[in-house]
Amino acid sequence: MAGMSDEADGSEAVSTSRVEAFSDGVMAIAITLLILEIKVPEVSSSTTLRHELGQLWPSYASFLISFTLIGIIWVNHHAMFHRVALVDRTLLFLNLLLLLVVSFIPFPTAVVAQFLREGQDARTAVVLYSLTSMAMGLAFVLLWRHLARHPYLLRPSSTVDFASESAHQSLVFGVGAYAVALAMAIVNPYASLVVHALVAAFFVLPERFRPGRQQSRKRAAPKPAG
């Protein structure tokens, strides 16, 4: 019914425990599948194992970047749901959208590893990887925006300002940065992968060291008595 209040919406909200357990399982499977794409090399009479292991460097690089990416998704997902008290139907589907992207990540990882090694269609492979990363960032934006618009889902210790800033940060440093990586992939796929690594390094930083968090803490700080 149109005009339904937050309190009415909240009556259909549920606990986060099952959502977190299911999400952890999907991410654990996805991060495990990454290593399956690194195959034991075949050694012929004209080459050596050392040489063939060295030729697998694109597989090592893409594995490391994707492992870090999924690991960061898991850490940030955990941090997000630490601030969530209840989950409504929309948030469930938005979370599934994020998990859809996470479960897809092993595929572009394998594509990048293969085509960087072969030297053919490397640009296309990294474009696919960048588009996947952009979709992941967009999923986080949608999750945070939904939380900002439905504050009854948040714990009392969390603020709408924090959710709004998190959505903005995911848009700028997630979707925006991966858009830069996408553009660079067309010119130089190796430079694009460096951008992916830098974005991962940014999100490894604790929240207090990220741009915008200082203002969030200032607004959230209580005024001194008197």
142-to-24, 97, 139 alpha-carbon distances in Å: 19, 10, 5
Look at residue 2 in the predicted model and tell me its pLDDT: 38
Q: How far apart are CA 88 and CA 157, in angstroms?
A: 19
Taking the alpha carbons of 178, 182, 184, 189 in that order, is the dihedral positive or negative?
A: positive
Taking the alpha carbons of 84, 87, 92, 94 in that order, is the dihedral positive or negative?
A: negative
Beta strands in the chain (DSSP E): none
Read off φ and ψ for residue 28, nearest 5 degrees: -65, -40
Look at residue 205 in the predicted model and tell me its pLDDT: 75
Look at residue 51 in the predicted model and tell me its pLDDT: 84
Per-residue pLDDT of the chain (226 residues; tens, 9 = 90+): 334 444 444 556 677 888 999 999 999 999 999 988 788 888 887 888 888 888 888 888 889 989 999 999 999 999 999 999 999 999 999 999 999 999 999 999 999 988 887 767 899 999 999 999 999 999 999 999 999 999 999 998 888 998 999 999 889 988 999 999 999 999 999 999 999 988 888 888 776 655 655 444 444 444 444 3
Among candidate residues 96, 101, 88, 94, the one with its CA nearest the CA of residue 16: 88
Look at residue 222 in the predicted model and tell me its pLDDT: 45
Look at residue 145 in the predicted model and tell me its pLDDT: 96
Look at residue 5 in the predicted model and tell me its pLDDT: 43
Asked if 189 and 119 count as a contact pair (C-beta separation under 8 A), the reply is no
Look at residue 47 in the predicted model and tell me its pLDDT: 83
Look at residue 125 in the predicted model and tell me its pLDDT: 94
Q: Could you tell me the pTM of the whole model?
A: 0.81
